[in-house]
């Protein structure tokens, strides 16, 4: 979704700059809800105020809601079929690739300097070695960012 949203929002319509898009994605990762909904709400508000945010959000939510409802109805009936199970097994690697591509996009559009590299290393160590929760690491990184980027 992120490359598609970037193409529409940044390149085609110029509603946001690439830097603003990366910021919205970063904030969206820390707030509840999918990135597409958060981005639609932000862009809608930025371009057309409160009603723009409402309509943009509904425009993103409604098609997905209806499609998932339809899929759920049929999945309940056919979930035991071997072909359906194989399809889902085949989709898993694609999902991993899409998440990796989104991570690459965010890294590419970020200012990657020594401080940012330290933040990445700090976060990975806290999560993998010390088993901190992701929420705790986000909070600590935010606090550390306020201190480091304000002072240095």
Over the stretch 111-125, which tens digit does the pLDDT of each residue have? Answer: 667 777 788 888 999
Is this prediction's pTM over 0.75? no
Residues 122, 89, single domain; the answer is no
Residues 148, 116, single domain; the answer is yes
Computed over every residue of the chain, the mean pLDDT equals 86
Residues 36, 90, single domain; the answer is yes
Neighbours of 36 (CB within 10 A): 17
Residues 87, 133, single domain; the answer is no
Decide if 38 contacts 31 (C-beta within 8 A).
Answer: yes
pLDDT at residue 19, as a whole number: 84
Among candidate residues 9, 29, 14, 12, the one with its CA nearest the CA of residue 106: 29
Instruction: Check residues 116 and 134 and name the one with the higher pLDDT.
Output: 134
pLDDT at residue 109, as a whole number: 67
Residues 6, 64, single domain; the answer is yes
- For the chain, the domain total comes to 2
The CB-side HSE value for 42 (13 A sphere, CA atoms) comes to 21
The model's confidence at residue 2, banded by pLDDT at 50, 70 and 90, is confident
Find the domain containing 137 and state its range.
111-152
Q: What is the mean pLDDT of residues 70-79?
A: 87
Residues 106, 150, single domain; the answer is no
pLDDT at residue 15, as a whole number: 92
Residues 79, 95, single domain; the answer is yes
The residue to which tokens 């639609």 are assigned: 40
Residues 124, 94, single domain; the answer is no
Residues 132, 93, single domain; the answer is no
Q: Mention every residue, 6+ apart, whose C-beta is less than 8 A from residue 60.
A: 36, 37, 40
Residues 29, 55, single domain; the answer is yes
Neighbours of 4 (CB within 10 A): 9
Residues 72, 118, single domain; the answer is no
**Cβ-based burial of 9 (10 A; exposed 0-12, middle 13-18, buried ≥19):** buried
Decide if 10 contacts 18 (C-beta within 8 A).
Answer: yes
């Amino acid at each position: 979704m992120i490359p598609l949203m970037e193409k529409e929002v940044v390149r085609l319509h110029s509603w946001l700059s690439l830097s603003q898009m990366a910021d919205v994605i970063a904030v969206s990762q820390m707030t509840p809800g999918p990135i597409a909904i958060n981005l639609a709400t932000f862009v809608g508000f930025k371009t057309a105020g409160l009603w723009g945010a409402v309509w943009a959000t509904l425009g993103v939510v409604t098609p997905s809601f209806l499609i998932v409802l339809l899929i759920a109805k049929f999945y309940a009936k056919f979930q035991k079929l071997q072909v359906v199970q194989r399809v889902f097994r085949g989709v898993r690697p694609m999902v991993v690739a899409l998440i990796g591509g989104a991570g690459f996009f965010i890294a590419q559009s970020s200012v990657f300097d020594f401080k940012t590299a330290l933040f990445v290393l700090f976060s990975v160590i806290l999560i993998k070695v010390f088993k901190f929760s992701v929420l705790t690491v986000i909070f600590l990184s935010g606090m550390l960012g306020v201190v480091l980027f304000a002072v240095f």
